[in-house]
Structure 1
């Protein structure tokens, strides 16, 4: 499988646990996501170590700042040689365009977070976004596409609607909040199983605890791979 659709989230507090888990996985079946806590603690050296294990890295730092600062951060992240980085779509058109331009002629993919999968309607009302998550996600996804980014992060529950809303086929949908049928939701609200996510049109599935906290992570990874490749 030359383009693994599973991205394993290494949401660990330190690099020792993260590297130990990574060594138990099959790089032909997955990519790796490094988020804010782990990157803040371990730094770019961890990215280098994971790349030496031949993993492609999604550096999930969700940049959201004034256009020049966000663009400079994207340039620095791409210089690490990672496969994908992300920004917040709520940063607006000028920021998205600046970030896209900062990666001109670079191979790193750039996607935008629409709404965090932990947010529900009442959370949006509290910050003044008086609309449903689905409508807000759709508007932000279309804006992201117009700005030339490679895709968005969205809930798997919204992927089907986005696929029918005018997005080009090549526009990537990266879906966190993936849970196995027999696992809990934890701090996610808008969740789906791996099979549901792929059926809804997701390109890549970000999966953390169902794999990283399993007694046999590789077996769970292999099981999910079989499930999503034969939908």
Structure 2
């Protein structure tokens, strides 16, 4: 069964003040926060240290996609900052994934997660860049690559989670973005689902962003998610 530590709050905001306001309003129950490109580019690593000082774990969502040496150097830097999870783009291939896993070895608490296909993409989008397989097929292929490379988990939508449970090591995380609450308006993400359905599909963690960050009462929304999950 999931608990609060399986719920990742995506701090998709642009300033330290916005981020600080969210994690203070949500309170002690939330343990794990995602810092992505938007917030890191705006604030730098200071926000990672502030979250850590507040007793929070940080999921650094950089979707690293570079030559293996550069990826390894970035993973090492993340480890030195105390990051608990970091994403590497599985499209980069085995050498990049293996370089990330190797670079993480001195930091036993840090997990390397392979991003498969972002939740805004559909089959037609892949075809535009010359990928003839469907999104489902591509996610499975990239997840299997991550398994071979020794990654600790993958990032994939709930629509693929059920398939992946049968395709990758049972100890691998399946981190599911694209989480929305019942009744919310659609966003730029297309492969979305609710918190409960994500876990029922096989997710080990969910990432929830705008539902909380745009709410007047972020704590009430987090509590609603917990209640839906029976936490």
TM-score between the two structures when normalised by the length of structure 1 = 0.95
Task: Look up the SS of the partner of 2:9 in the other structure.
Answer: strand
**Structure 1 CA distance, aligned partners of 2:229 and 2:55?**
23
**Structure 1 CA distance, aligned partners of 2:67 and 2:209?**
30
Q: CA deviation at 1:3?
A: 6.0
Per the alignment, residue 173 of structure 1 pairs with 174
Per the alignment, residue 154 of structure 2 pairs with 152
Residues 228 and 171 of structure 1: is their aligned pair in 2 closer, same or farther, counting only changes over 3 Å?
Answer: same
Q: 1:134 aligns with which of 133, 136, 144?
A: 136
Per the alignment, residue 204 of structure 1 pairs with 205
Q: Which stretches of structure 1, 4 residues or more, deviate above 6 A after TM superposition?
A: none
Per the alignment, residue 112 of structure 1 pairs with 114
**Structure 1 CA distance, aligned partners of 2:103 and 2:174?**
22
Q: CA deviation at 1:4?
A: 1.1
Q: CA deviation at 1:49?
A: 0.9
Q: CA deviation at 1:152?
A: 0.4
Asked if structure 2 preserves the Cα contact closer than 8 Å seen for 1:11 and 1:34, the reply is yes
Per the alignment, residue 85 of structure 1 pairs with 86
**Structure 2 CA distance, aligned partners of 1:74 and 1:229?**
35
**Structure 2 CA distance, aligned partners of 1:218 and 1:3?**
13
**Structure 2 CA distance, aligned partners of 1:8 and 1:208?**
6
Asked if structure 2 preserves the Cα contact closer than 8 Å seen for 1:194 and 1:227, the reply is yes
Residues 156-209 of structure 1: CA deviation (Å, up to 9, x unaligned): 1110111122x2221100000001111122110110111110000101100001
Aligned length, in residue pairs: 229
TM-score between the two structures when normalised by the length of structure 2 = 0.95
**Structure 1 CA distance, aligned partners of 2:185 and 2:150?**
36
Asked if structure 2 preserves the Cα contact closer than 8 Å seen for 1:6 and 1:204, the reply is yes
Per the alignment, residue 54 of structure 1 pairs with 55
Alignment root-mean-square deviation, CA: 1.4
Residues 25-73 of structure 1: CA deviation (Å, up to 9, x unaligned): 1343341101101101101111111111111010111110011111111
Residues 108-162 of structure 1: CA deviation (Å, up to 9, x unaligned): 1110100010000110000011111000000100110111110000001110111
